[in-house]
């Protein structure tokens, strides 16, 4: 199989995985990018905020969209107004501030937000061959295949085939959804 065919099949498999999760009723995570602090009109200070760029599903080391795009997940936070009483550490205050800024950016309350995800270049065979992120394009047994690096520091000999990885992750996600529904129906 050549590289372009392998990448097209990978995109189709990723889109199908996102479709299965959506059909099963999984709530997608919101994708957002950081908009740095700046001055509006040259003199009005604006603090750092976030801009929503889409939605997708986190499947382990991958974040996939319905169109088959894939990202290396960035920071993950929940947009919420949770306030805990008492003394809090500086890191807890920073997380609370991040959650509040997500709400200020008009992301829906209670949603999971993946911030500053890095797109994986599925349309560029040369870039995919040089990729060191969660998806890589490799030659195996005379065929070009797309493999998953499920741990960022994993060596190349521990990469997993995309289809097997997606099957395992979908099994876990769909099983969790089924268990959650059963729990809510029979408390």
> What local confidence, expressed as pLDDT, does residue 93 receive?
83
| pLDDT tens digit sequence for 111-147 | 999 999 999 999 998 999 888 889 999 887 788 899 9
> What local confidence, expressed as pLDDT, does residue 85 receive?
65
CA angle 80, 83, 86 (to 5 degrees): 160
> What local confidence, expressed as pLDDT, does residue 61 receive?
92
| pLDDT tens digit sequence for 23-35 | 999 999 999 999 8
Task: Measure the CA–CA gap between 145 and 18, rounded to whole angstroms.
Answer: 20
Which segments in the chain show pLDDT lower than 50? none
Spatial neighbors of 99 by CB under 8 A, at least 6 apart, are 77, 78, 79, 80, 81, 82
Task: Measure the CA–CA gap between 149 and 179, rounded to whole angstroms.
Answer: 28
> What local confidence, expressed as pLDDT, does residue 186 receive?
65
pTM of the predicted structure, to 2 decimals: 0.84
Task: Measure the CA–CA gap between 154 and 148, rounded to whole angstroms.
Answer: 10
| Residue in 61, 52, 53, 59 with CA at minimum distance from that of residue 15 | 59
> What local confidence, expressed as pLDDT, does residue 169 receive?
95
> What local confidence, expressed as pLDDT, does residue 167 receive?
96
Around Cβ 76, how many Cβ atoms within 10 Å? 13
DSSP state of 87: -
| 56 touches 18 (CB < 8 A) | yes
């Amino acid at each position: 199989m050549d590289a372009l065919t392998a990448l097209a099949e990978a995109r189709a498999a990723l889109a199908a995985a996102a479709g299965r999760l959506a059909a099963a009723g999984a709530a997608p995570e919101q994708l957002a990018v950081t908009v740095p602090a700046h001055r509006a009109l040259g003199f009005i200070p604006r603090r750092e905020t976030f801009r929503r760029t889409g939605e997708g599903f986190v499947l382990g080391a991958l974040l996939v969209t319905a169109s088959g795009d894939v990202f290396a997940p960035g920071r993950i936070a929940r947009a919420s107004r949770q306030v805990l009483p008492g003394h809090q550490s500086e890191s807890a205050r920073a997380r609370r501030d991040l959650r509040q800024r997500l709400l200020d950016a008009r992301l829906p309350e209670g949603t999971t937000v993946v911030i500053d995800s890095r797109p994986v270049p599925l349309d560029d065979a040369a870039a995919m061959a040089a990729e060191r992120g969660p998806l890589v394009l490799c030659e195996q047994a005379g065929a070009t295949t797309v493999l998953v690096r499920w741990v960022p520091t994993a060596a190349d000999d521990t990469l997993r085939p995309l289809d097997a990885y997606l099957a395992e992750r979908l099994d876990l996600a769909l099983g969790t959804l089924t268990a959650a529904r059963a729990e809510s129906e029979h408390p």
